């Protein structure tokens, strides 16, 4: 099942990530309780999909740790919101992003034919880079004084939406200017994400083209002397012309 459906599951995982980033999290920022429940359901679906794709107990264990950290942050937030909630949520999300990224990268850039699902998986990997930096920016905002202007890293329903927005703005080099890094370390992190955002599409294109060319080369039979060498046929002697 893993080998048969792994490519298709890349598209499924992409749909779930889009729902989480662009539907559940923005609605959570408005204080919608159903959106919080929906976000948890989508996150569980993401974990299940990644587990089927990888088939690895280690991946399952790491995803479980990430989910447990996020769940603990949610429970603590119901009582007394604090910095601990953000640290737990950011740590859990960083684990999820890195583990999912490794699973997706192995499938996207592994040997084989480049198809629609692999292209979707490559875009998904791009989104996971932004997701990893969401957690990194949360750590930076908590640990560095005045890390950002226009963004206060405190426990609130809108924090995740703001961090995701800033991460994508940085990754794509849009730079609206409403949120900006101030601390030297936060600036360095933004520079790193921007460089990745610029180099990734070019690297992705080169790798996918290489994989497709290798697949076509392996599938093309070698010909020797005008006959198919794979059939073991050899050209006979040519008739002598007078």
**What is the greatest pairwise CA distance in the chain?**
102
pLDDT tens digits for range 209-237: 777 777 677 766 544 444 444 444 445 55
Q: What is the pLDDT of residue 220?
A: 60
Place of tokens 């459906």: 5
Six-digit token string for 104: 């997706």
DSSP state of 180: E
What Rg do the C-alpha atoms of the chain give, in angstroms?
24
Which of 138, 140, 109 minimizes the C-alpha distance to 125? Answer: 109
Place of tokens 């790193």: 192
Q: What are the residue boundaries of the structural domains of the chain, listed by start?
A: 2-220
The DSSP result for 72-140, as a single string, is HHHHHHHH---HHHHHHHHHHHHHHHHHHHHHHHHHHSSSS---HHHHHHHHHHHHHHHHHHHHHHHHH
Q: What is the pLDDT of residue 28?
A: 87
pLDDT tens digits for range 12-32: 999 999 999 999 999 988 888
Rounded to 5, what percent of the chain is helix, strand, coil? 75, 5, 25
pLDDT tens digits for range 110-161: 777 778 888 888 899 999 999 999 999 999 999 998 899 999 898 888 899 9
> How confident is the model over 5-9, as a mean pLDDT?
81
pLDDT tens digits for range 58-99: 988 998 999 899 888 888 877 777 788 999 999 999 999 999
- The torsion defined by the Cα of 185, 93, 97 and 159, in degrees rounded to 10, comes to -60
Which of 191, 85, 194, 200 minimizes the C-alpha distance to 138? Answer: 85
DSSP state of 178: S
């Amino acid at each position: 099942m893993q080998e048969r459906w792994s490519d298709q599951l890349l598209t499924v995982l992409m749909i779930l990530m889009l729902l989480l980033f662009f539907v559940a999290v923005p609605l959570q920022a408005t204080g919608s309780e159903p959106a919080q429940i929906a976000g948890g359901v989508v996150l569980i679906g993401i974990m299940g999909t990644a587990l089927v794709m990888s088939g690895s107990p280690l991946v399952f264990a790491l995803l479980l740790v990430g989910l447990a950290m996020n769940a603990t942050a949610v429970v603590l937030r119901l009582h007394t919101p604090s910095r601990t909630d953000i640290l737990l949520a950011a740590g859990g999300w960083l684990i999820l992003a890195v583990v999912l990224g490794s699973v997706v990268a192995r499938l996207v850039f592994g040997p084989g034919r480049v198809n629609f699902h692999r292209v979707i998986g490559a875009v998904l990997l791009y989104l996971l880079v932004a997701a990893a930096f969401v957690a990194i920016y949360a750590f930076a905002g908590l640990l560095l004084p005045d890390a950002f202007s226009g963004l206060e890293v405190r426990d609130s329903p809108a924090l995740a939406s703001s961090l995701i927005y800033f991460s994508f703005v940085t990754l794509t080099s849009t730079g609206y200017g409403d949120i900006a890094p101030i601390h030297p370390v936060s600036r360095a992190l933004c520079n790193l994400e921007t460089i990745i955002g610029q180099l990734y599409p070019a690297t992705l294109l080169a790798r996918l083209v290489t994989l497709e060319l290798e697949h076509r080369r392996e599938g093309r039979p070698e010909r020797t002397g005008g006959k198919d060498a794979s059939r073991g046929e050899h050209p006979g002697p040519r008739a002598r012309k007078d």
